[in-house]
Amino acid sequence: MARSNRSSSNSNQTFLLWLGLSGLLLAIDQLSKILAKGNLVEGVSNPVTSFLNWTLVYNPGAAFSFLAQAGGWQRWFFTGLGIAAALLIVWLIRKNAQQTLFCLAMSLILSGAVGNVIDRVMYGAVVDFIDVYYLHWHWPAFNIADSAITLGVILLIFDEIKRVNK
């Protein structure tokens, strides 16, 4: 019985570490958005390098401004979707807490999903401010949460490829 308790305790600690990582990334995301809102003027580009601007924009839609002009219902749809995804991800991390790469990927995705849900609830749109470009081509503006989601998805795909190849 003691061994089972120790295993359960380790799993709980690992689960809490993954949630802690998500919480840390969420805090960084929200702090970066507060700084962007406090120091940038909406729509005005502030050059940082030859390929990067800080440009404050609000995205009421999804990735690449999908459904941005949908009339408002998308705010609550994407908020609900983000909350449902976050709950599922927490459950998946809890269930698989010892799978390092999988949980790292899920923790990244969780922090990004919750970060963007907070924006939708507080501001009615996601706060974006990172503008990457080359010559006259600009990638759609994004934020730390979007970066965490993207990296998490890449790691999730890598983890699945690794699992399938075993």
Query: Which residues are the active-site residues?
Result: 128, 146
**SS3 label, residue 131:** strand
CA nearest to 57, candidates 34, 73, 41: 41
**Amino acid occupying residue 18:** W
Burial 138-156 (b: 16+ CB within 10 A, else e): eeebbbbbbebbeebeebb
